[in-house]
Structure 1
Amino acid sequence: MDKAQETTLDVDGVLNFKGRICVPRVDDLIEKLLAESHSSRYSLHPDMAPFEAFYGRGCRSPIGWFEAGDVKPLRVDLVKDAQDKMRSIQVKLLAAQSRQNKYADHKVRNMAFQTGENVLLKVSPMKG
């Protein structure tokens, strides 16, 4: 691939070479651009994380909240408690579902029709 194919001109008139912006050697333009980019609010301070530099506040991620020796493994009783809570939630969900089915089934009537019978249907408009 030759250099002409690797060089592009985007819609804003910026010249790119291999995906990088090309800056002409005019006076001290390159130095001014570099100085401005390093003093920008988006530039990274050596003690600043990228999230903090961009949003102006620290990241609330749980990663790094603890020191390596501070974290203790989960105890077996915590896992058992979580499993017990899941079982009780499942039982309550099944009870609620059966109660709702009972309410819905209460309104349903089994009807049988013969061929040739006239039937009056009530049609209600649906919202949405």
Structure 2
Amino acid sequence: MGTKLRFSTAFHPQTDGQSKRMIQTWEYMLRSCVLQLRDSWDTHLALMEFAYNNSYHSSIGMAPYQALYGRQCRTPICWNVVGDRKLEKVESIQEMTEKVNMIREKLKTAQDR
């Protein structure tokens, strides 16, 4: 795959950039989601993680989930796009889909900063 392992000390300026950028993106995304979701932001952390792991990242040219598993993630949240599944509790899935889309917008804004 062409990956190279680089060991470094904590806060080393030449190898800490990628971690720093990821933490900064998460910070912006969390801040904007907390402002919009108010008191329920902590119950949506799993959706934030889902949105982050299934969003396109220009540094790797794909979503982190796809890079790790070699395929796109398939969950009930994504099934409404395909339309080939019979789902129970469609309202809750639609609500989750709306929240994931909102979080993805916040993530895109955070990545563009």
Shorter-chain TM-score: which interval? under 0.3
TM-score, normalization: structure 2? 0.23
Tell me: higher relative CO, structure 1 or 2? Use CA pairs within 8 A at least 6 residues apart: 2
Task: Please identify which structure carries the higher strand content.
Answer: 1
Q: Which structure has the larger Rg over C-alpha atoms? A: 1
TM-score by length of 1: 0.21
